[in-house]
Every structure is written in structure tokens, then in C-alpha cells.
Amino acid sequence: MTENLRPSGAHSTDQDPTSYPYASSYGTAYDSAPGGYPPPPAYAPTTGRRKAKRPVALLAAVAIAAGVIGGGTATLVGQFNGQDSAATGSGGAVNGTTVSQSSKGTVAGVAEAVSPAIVEIGAASSAGKSTGSGVVITEDGEIVTNNHVISGAQQIQVTLSTGKTYTADVVGTDPGKDLALIKLRNASGLKTATLGDSSKVKVGEQVVAIGSPEGLTGTVTSGIVSALDRDVTVAKDDSGSGSGQGQGQGGGGQQWPFEFGGQQFNGDTGEETTTYKALQTDASLNPGNSGGALINMDGEIIGINSAMYAPSSSAAGSGSSAGSVGLGFAIPVNTLKADLDTLRAGNGS
């Protein structure tokens, strides 16, 4: 029992440690307790202990709340960082495209994916030699190009991106659409291009052009689609160019002539012409790009490059034609897809 250090009688409340005479009258015996005091309870929680429990409960609640908020924050961070596993796969190609997930939306990614399907076409005729481009659409060597690239050719040689060369034969031409289909001899297992949907193309959309300007195989340029449905008029055959060169390199001939907006560019188109709706692009096109690919950022072919404006030598103030000034045209790929059966049958307009 703790010793009471206060002097006896110091306070009026001090009690004498004697038995209470009235204790037994209430039927409760305190006589057995020392000093007559009632025994303390077996468990006597103090006020201090009860207060101590409240912060513990509060901290537990805060911890639970923090856990919930933290989980939500992690989810948001994952979404902003593109870590939603349901939206993307683990590597590999993007669904429905030929561009890898890591390179999606980049010029480098498009070039890496599509360049193996773009070829250089060398056409030799009595008028000389010219260079153009083409797009491989089947593993056994079907290649789409412009009609003016191979028109009048007596021999066609195709060079792949690997440097391997093939001899090609003309399958079908359609001068009315400036399209042609050629086929490599004894080819197999070639890398093919994916044909897209030109009806979904929008002005301002970024594009990539791949071809062989001036005989520089596999040259890549980029830009945007600057207009849709431009009426472009071109010669139906090589007679309009005056030299049989088409929009190619070599022989000193003019660039492939065309009409646009009531004006003629790159020479006289001649008497027999055809007009088609074209995609306009500011991606750099130069002689030799004809027949090559205009590609969207998913690696899909959306057009076949067919005409470009180059200032004449007199306007450029030099002895040779100037390069691209950002005014190029491509035949929409949907025009090509609608014409493939006709080309494969060897017919044309």
C-alpha cells in the first residue's frame, strides 16, 4: 500500500483508517479490507489509457485511406504513362499495321518497316533509260508502279533494297489511271507492303515517301498531306514527255509533265491525257520517285507517288532542273485496289 505523505489532518477529507460503523447496514462487509476501504477493481482502466486508444484507431483509419488513395494514384500514373496492359501488348507489331510498337508514329519506324518492299525500276527503251520506283504487293514479285515509268520499255530491271536484281515483265497497264503492274521472274519470299485506306486520309496527316530519286535507292522523305482530291492531268503515255523518259533519271529528258489548276508543269502533256483525283503532299519528291510509296505513320501505303513540280532550268537559273519545292501528287491507294483485277487481267483503259 502506497504511503500517504500528507500530514494527518492536513485536509478535511483525510479519513481515519478505521471501520465504518454503517458499513454493515448496507449489507456490504468492508471490515476485511485494510483501513476499511473497498478493494480496487480487478481491472481499473484509467482515463489516460482510454485516450491513448483513440489516436491508434485514427492512425489505422488514415493508413487505410492512404492505401486506397495510393492505389488510385498508381492507376492514374499508369494510365498517363501508357502502362495500361489492356491497351498495349508486350512488344511486337501494332495490331493491323507493319510498324513495331516501340517505333510507332516515327519516320524511322515507318522507313524500317516499309523500305524492304520498295524497289528501284530501271526501264530501257529505244529513247534511252529511265529510273522509277515500285511497291511490292505479293511475295512472288508483283509490283505496282506508274504506267509512265515503264511505258515503251523494251527491258525492265528491278533492284530490291538488298541490292539483288531481277528481270521483270509487264503484266498489265492502265494509262487512264497512270498505273501498271509488273512481275519479277523467279522471285519468292519477298517482303510485301500493306495497302491502307486512302478514304481515311486527312489533311495535315504526317506521311513518308520512299523511292529512288535520281537513282538513289531507298531514299526516305517525310511531310504532310497538304490537300485531298486534287484534279491532276497527265499524259496517257510517254509521248507527252517528248523523250520517253517519264519522271525518271537519265537521257536528259524533261520531268513527267502534268497539268494542275489550269497550268502545265514540267512540259507539254500532249494531246492524249487523263485526269485523276490525287493526294497532294509536301513530302519531297524528285525524279525517280514516280511509282514509289506514300505511307501513313502506321506503315500502310496510302498512295502511289506520280507527279511533282520542279521549276524549269530557266526559272531556276541553272543548267539543270531544280529539286522538289513541296508540290507533289500521289494516286490514292483505293484507286489502285479497285484497279488490281484489271491490271492482273492485262487490261486497261
The grid coordinates listed for 260 are: 494542275
Burial of 233 (0-12, 13-18, 19+ CB in 10 A): middle
**Is residue 290 among the annotated active site residues?**
yes
List 125, 290, 306, 324, catalytic entry: 290
Of the candidates 125, 133, 148, 198, the residue annotated as catalytic is 148
Kindly name the residue from 133, 151, 174, 178 that is annotated as catalytic. 178
User: Which letter does DSSP use for residue 273 in this model?
Assistant: E
The yes-or-no answer on residue 178 being catalytic is: yes
Cβ partners under 8 Å of residue 245, min gap 6: 127, 128, 130, 238, 251, 252, 253, 254
Q: How would DSSP label each residue in 99-144?
A: SBGGGTT-HHHHHHHHGGGEEEEEEEETTEEEEEEEEE-STT-EEE
Residue 115 annotated as catalytic? no
Residue among 148, 304, 322 nearest 240 (CA): 148
Give 246's strand partners: none
What Cα–Cα distance (Å) separates residue 345 from each residue in 27, 206, 303? 122, 35, 22
**Cell numbers linked to 218:** 531507298
**Catalytic sites, residue numbers:** 148, 178, 290
